[in-house]
Amino acid sequence: MAARAGVSRATVSRVVNGSPKVHPDSAQAVRSAIAELGYVPNRAARSLASHQSHAIALVVPEDMTRFLGDAYFASVIKGIAERLERSDYVLSLMVASQAPEPKMLRYLAGGAVDGVVVISHHIGDRSLYQIAGLMPMVFGGRAVVPGIDAYVVDVNNVEGASIATQRLVDRGCRRIASIAGSMSMQSALDRVAGWREVLEAADLEPGPVIDGDYTMHGGARAIREILAEYPDVDGVFVASDLMASGAMPVVLERGLSIPGDIAMVGYDDSPAVEACEVPLTTVRQPSEEMGALMADILVDVLSGNESRDRTTIMPTVLVERDSA
Amino acid sequence: MAARAGVSRATVSRVVNGSPKVHPDSAQAVRSAIAELGYVPNRAARSLASHQSHAIALVVPEDMTRFLGDAYFASVIKGIAERLERSDYVLSLMVASQAPEPKMLRYLAGGAVDGVVVISHHIGDRSLYQIAGLMPMVFGGRAVVPGIDAYVVDVNNVEGASIATQRLVDRGCRRIASIAGSMSMQSALDRVAGWREVLEAADLEPGPVIDGDYTMHGGARAIREILAEYPDVDGVFVASDLMASGAMPVVLERGLSIPGDIAMVGYDDSPAVEACEVPLTTVRQPSEEMGALMADILVDVLSGNESRDRTTIMPTVLVERDSA
DNA sequence: TTGTACGCGTTATCAT
DNA sequence: ATGATAACGCGTACAA
C-alpha cells in the first residue's frame, strides 16, 4: 500500500487522517492507491496506536423482546443515531438480557468503544459502574444513577406524572388508579410518587397502583385487575403509552367508554399511541431530542470538552387528545 | 500485570486464553493478579495479534423506526442473541438507514467483527458484497442474494404465500386481493408470486395488489385503497402480520366482519398478531429458529467448519385462527 | 513536506 | 511449563 502510491506509510497515514501537511500530489497519489487497492485501515491497529475506537455503545439492559416491544426506545435511538451520523463514530447497539453479562462488560472495558450511552437502567444494577470510570458515559431517559461519575439526561418524572394526574383530577375523576412501570426502575417509582402527590393535594383517596411492567401485556393485565377489584375507578394514570395501548382495548371491550366511564392518561407520547383506538391524552417527553442530546454530550466530551452539565432535565408537557 | 503475578506476559496470555499448558500455581497467581488489578485485556491489541475480534455484527439496512416497529425482527434477533450467548462472541447491532453508509462499511471491513448477519436486505443493495469476500456472512429471512459468497437462511416465500392464498380459496373467497410488502425486497416479490400462482391455478381473476410497505400504516393505507376501489373483495392475503394488524381495524371500523365479509391471512406469525382484534390466521415462519441457525452457522464457520450448506430453507406452516 | 523509527498491548513462535 | 522475542498494522514524535 505504501509502495503502491510511491510514498511512505507515514504519509499514507497522514492522508487517511486528513492531515493538512501533505502535498496535494502525494495526497492524490495515495487516494488513488487507496481506491485501486480497496484499502481499509485496520481498526485494531489504529485503535491500538491511537487509543480510540471511534465507536460508541448504546447498552440496553433489557431483554430483546421488551426492547423491541416498546416504541419509546425507537424515538430515543433515532435521536442518537441521527446525531451520530454526522460524526465519525459508529453506533453499536448492545441489548443485554437483564444486567450486562461479564462478556459485554469485558467488551466495553477492553476498549472496544470510546463512550457509552445507557438507557433503561435498572435500580441497583451496579455492573456498569466500573465502566464509567474508564470512559464517558451518559444515562438516558428512564434512569437515575446515584453516586456515579456519569452524565444524565432525564425528565422530571414526578412532575410529569403530576401533570397527568392533575388532568384527571381537573376533569372530575374522583377515584384515580395508576398502572405503574417496572418497579425496578427509578422512573416508575417517580411517576407513582407524582401521581400520589397530586391526589393527596386534592384530598382524594389514592386508588390502586398496579404494576404493569412497562409492557403492553402488563398494561392489559393491570387494568383487568383494577376493573375487577375496584369497579368504582373512574380515572387511571398509565405510566407508559405502551401499557395504555394494552389497557385501552380491555376497557372498551367491557363496554366502558373512554373517557366517559374511565378517563385515561398515558406517558411518553411514543409511537405506541397510534395503536390506541381512542386518541390518547398523554405526557410527552422529548425522547428523540433526549437521544440526540445524549449523543451530543458524548461526542462533545470525547472531543475534550470538560464543561458539560452533568445533568440535564428536559421538559414534559401534556398532549391533550380524547382519552382524558 | 506480568510482573504482578511474577510470571511473563506470555504466561498471562496463556492463562487468559485458557491454555492447558500452565502450571496450576502460575495460573492461580495470574488469576489473583487479574482480580486485584481489575485487569482486562485490551481488545485492540488482542485483535491485532490474533486477527480476531470475537464480535459479530447484525446489520439491518433499515431505518430505526421500521426496524423497531416490526416485531418480526424481535424474534429473529432473539434467536441470534440466545445462540450467541453461549459462545464467546458479542453481538453488535448495526441499524443503517437505507444502504449501509461508508462509515459502517469501513467499520466492518476494518476488522471490527469476525462475521456478519444481514437481515432485511434490499434488492440491488450491493454495498455488502465486498464485505462478504472478507469474512463469513449470513443472509437471513427476507433476503435473497444472487451471486454472492454467503450463507442464506430463508423460507420458501412463494410456497408460504401459496399456503395462505389457498386457504382463502378453500374457504370460498372469489375475489382475493393482496397487501404486499416492500417491493424492494425479494420476499415481497416472492409472496406476490405465490399468491398469483394459486389464483391462476384456481382459475380466479387476481384481485388488486397494493404495496403496504411492510409497515402498519402501510397496511391500513392499502386496505383503504382496496376497499374503496374494489368493494367486491372478499379475501386478502397480507404479506406480514404487522401490515395485517394495521389493516384489520380499518375493515372492522367500516362495519365489515372478519372473516365473514372479508377473510384475512397474514404472514410471519410474529408477536404483531397479538395486536389483532380478531385472531389472525397466518403463515408461520420459524423466525427465532432462523435467527438461532444463522448465528450457529456463523459460529461454526468461524471455528473452521467449511462444510456447512450454503443455503437452508426452513418450513412454513399455516396457523389457523379466526380471520380466515 | 516527507521519511525513519519507535511504541501501542497482545498473541505466536521459538528456544529452554 | 515457561520465557524471550518477533510480529500485528498504524500513529506520531523526531529528524531530515
In a domain, A46, yes or no: no
Residues B106 and B253 in one domain: no
Per cent of chain B over pLDDT 70 is: 97
Residue A264 or residue B71, greater confidence: A264
**Beta strand pairing status for A317-319 and A281-284?**
antiparallel
Residue A176 or residue A25, greater confidence: A176
In a domain, B45, yes or no: no
Residues A161 and A278 in one domain: yes
Residues B165 and B200 in one domain: yes
pLDDT tens per residue, range B229-273: 999 999 999 999 999 999 999 999 899 999 999 999 999 999 999
Name the residue closest to the C1' of C2 by its CA.
Answer: A11
Integer distance in angstroms from CA A9 to C1' C11?
Answer: 24
How much is the pLDDT for B99?
59
The region of weakest confidence among B14-18, B68-72, B240-244 is B68-72
> Stretch A265-276: mean pLDDT, rounded?
93
- pLDDT of B54 over the 80 cut: yes
Contact B271 A78 (CB under 8 A): no
Residues B83 and B162 in one domain: no
Give, as one character, the DSSP assignment of residue A259: T
| Chain A residues with CB-CB distance to B94 below 8 A | 90-93
Taking the whole predicted model, whether its pTM rises above 0.85 is answered as yes
Residues spanned by the domain of A15: 2-40
In a domain, B319, yes or no: no
From CA A213, how far away is CA A215, in angstroms rounded? 5
How much is the pLDDT for B292?
98
Residues A297 and A276 in one domain: no
Q: How many domains does chain B have?
A: 3
Residues A207 and A193 in one domain: yes
pLDDT tens per residue, range A301-324: 999 998 999 999 999 999 999 999
In a domain, B47, yes or no: no
Residue B9 or residue B322, greater confidence: B322
How much is the pLDDT for B236?
98
How much is the pLDDT for A161?
98
Contact A40 B110 (CB under 8 A): yes
In a domain, B229, yes or no: yes
Contact B64 A81 (CB under 8 A): yes
> Stretch B300-318: mean pLDDT, rounded?
95
Residue B137 or residue B100, greater confidence: B137
Structural contact between residues A292 and A83, judged by C-beta atoms closer than 8 angstroms: yes
In a domain, A321, yes or no: no
Strand partners, B37: none
Residues A254 and A168 in one domain: yes
Q: Distance of CA A285 to CAs A68, A269, A323, B281, B300, Å?
A: 19, 7, 18, 37, 45
How much is the pLDDT for B1?
64
In a domain, A270, yes or no: yes
Q: Decide: CB of B37 under 7 A of nucleic strand C.
A: no
Residues A23 and A92 in one domain: no
- pLDDT of B100 over the 70 cut: no
User: Which residues 1-60 in chain B have a CB closer than 7 A to strand D?
Assistant: 6-11, 14, 20-23, 25-27, 45, 48-49
Q: What is the chain A residue with the closest CA to B63? A: A78
| Chain B residues with CB-CB distance to A216 below 8 A | 274
Contact A47 B44 (CB under 8 A): yes
Contact A74 B69 (CB under 8 A): yes
Q: Is B115 helix (H, G, I), strand (E, B) or coil?
A: strand
How much is the pLDDT for A1?
65
Residues A276 and A232 in one domain: yes
pLDDT tier, A120 (very low <50, low <70, confident <90, very high otherwise): very high
For residue A21, report the phi and psi dihedrals to the nearest 5 degrees.
-90, 60
User: Which residues 1-60 in chain A have a CB closer than 7 A to strand D?
Assistant: 1, 9-10, 12-14, 16-17, 39, 41-42, 45-46, 48-50
Name the residue closest to the C1' of C6 by its CA.
Answer: A49
Contact A43 B112 (CB under 8 A): yes
| Chain A residues with CB-CB distance to B74 below 8 A | 64-65, 67-69
- pLDDT of B3 over the 80 cut: no
Contact A68 B71 (CB under 8 A): yes
Nucleotides of D under 7 A from a protein CB: 1-5, 7-13
- pLDDT of B312 over the 90 cut: yes
C-alpha distance from B174 to closest chain A C-alpha (Å): 31
Residues B68 and B148 in one domain: yes
Residues B253 and B299 in one domain: no
How much is the pLDDT for B81?
92
In a domain, A319, yes or no: no
How much is the pLDDT for A4?
63
Q: What does the mean pLDDT of chain A come to? A: 93
From CA A278, how far away is CA A249, in angstroms rounded? 9
- pLDDT of A124 over the 90 cut: no
pLDDT tier, B97 (very low <50, low <70, confident <90, very high otherwise): confident
Residues A102 and A215 in one domain: no
> Stretch A210-235: mean pLDDT, rounded?
97
Q: What CATH number is given to the structural domain containing A206?
A: 3.40.50.2300
Beta strands in chain A (DSSP E): 55-60, 90-95, 115-119, 137-140, 151-155, 176-180, 209-211, 235-238, 263-268, 281-284, 311-314, 317-319
Q: Which residues of A171-196 are buried (b: 16+ CB within 10 A; e: fewer)?
A: eebebbbbbbbbeebbbbbbbbebbb
Strand partners, B101: none
Q: Decide: CB of A123 under 7 A of nucleic strand C.
A: no
Q: Decide: CB of A156 under 7 A of nucleic strand C.
A: no
C-alpha distance from B199 to closest chain A C-alpha (Å): 33
